[in-house]
Amino acid sequence: MSKAVVLLSGGLDSTTCLSIAIKEGYDVYTLSFDYGQKNNKEILCTQEIVKYYSIKEHKIIKVGNVGGSALTNDDIEVPDYQGLPNIPVTYVPARNIIFLSYAVGYAEVIGAEAIYIGVNAVDYSGYPDCTPEFIEAFQEVVKVGTKAGINGRPVKILTPLMNLSKAEIIKLACENNAPLHLTSSCYRGGDKACGVCDSCVLRLKGFKEAGIVDPVEYV
């Protein structure tokens, strides 16, 4: 059975990606990151999600916090949703560059042929590291900067959610019986989701458009 690494944040999109990788028949290994995010609940969610799927190996990598983001800095407040600017203060500098770099290394070690990442360029917050252009460029880096790539077998970066709306992602997750009740999307990361940050608003909008009730609790 072919192996795949799934980047699992504990949120809706990455959990949907995990359900897709499993449905497509991969032997899945999950990788999560503690990068100093205020939403520590995310990490707890990843642990419950991997238990749900009986994932054989789940790594949580702790990486340094370079600052500069409302998601990691206590002195930068997470804003309520006010419409999405080009790049909001919740952008975490180089986050997916770092995450994918670890994932590529891990994939080489275990002999995985693919990496799943739940980036989306439709209902998203305008992050530059969630675009098709970024993924295409990083795939080129993998081709020329890894042993597997030089040998003609570069690890494939798969982005099955890239062109889906949030409603379409939610419908797909439900079709795959993904455990959305175990996920956390809120940027503030309280016991209950705030319902008013960018991530909560996009999630709630998606559930409404999908005609499905969000199973997580809100303030």
Predicted pLDDT of residue 55: 98
CA atoms within 13 A on the CB side of 58: 19
Is residue 129 part of an annotated ligand binding site? Answer: no
Residue 75 is predicted with a pLDDT of 76
Pull the structure tokens for residue 145: 């900067």
pLDDT tens-place string over residues 137-193: 999 999 999 999 999 999 999 999 999 999 999 999 999 999 999 999 999 888 899
Q: The pTM is what?
A: 0.93
- Annotated binding residue at 197? yes
185, 32 in Cβ contact below 8 A? Answer: no
pLDDT in tens, 98-142: 999 999 999 999 999 999 999 998 866 678 999 999 999 999 999
As for how many domains the chain has, the answer is 1
Would 129 be classed as within a structural domain?
yes
Domain of residue 183 covers 3-210
Give the CATH number of the domain where residue 179 resides: 3.40.50.620
The confidence score (pLDDT) of residue 134 equals 96
209/123 Cα distance (integer angstroms): 12
The reply, when asked if residue 9 is annotated as ligand binding, is yes
* Token pair for 5: 């690494």
Average pLDDT over residues 25-29: 98
- Spell out the residues 6+ positions from residue 211 whose beta carbon is closer than 8 angstroms to its own: none
Tell me what the mean pLDDT of segment 70-99 comes to.
Answer: 78
Asked whether residue 174 is marked as a ligand-binding residue, the answer is no
The answer to whether 189 is annotated as binding is no
Q: Which residue type, as a one-letter code, is found at position 219?
A: V
pLDDT band for position 85 (50/70/90)? low
Angstrom distance (rounded) from CA 16 to CA 162: 12
Per-residue pLDDT, 90: 80
181 in a structural domain: yes
Mean pLDDT of the chain: 92
Is 80 exceeded by the pLDDT of residue 7?
Answer: yes
Is 131 annotated among the ligand-binding residues? no
Q: Is 215 inside a domain boundary?
A: no
Residue 143 falls within a domain, yes or no? yes
Tell me if 26 is assigned to some domain.
yes
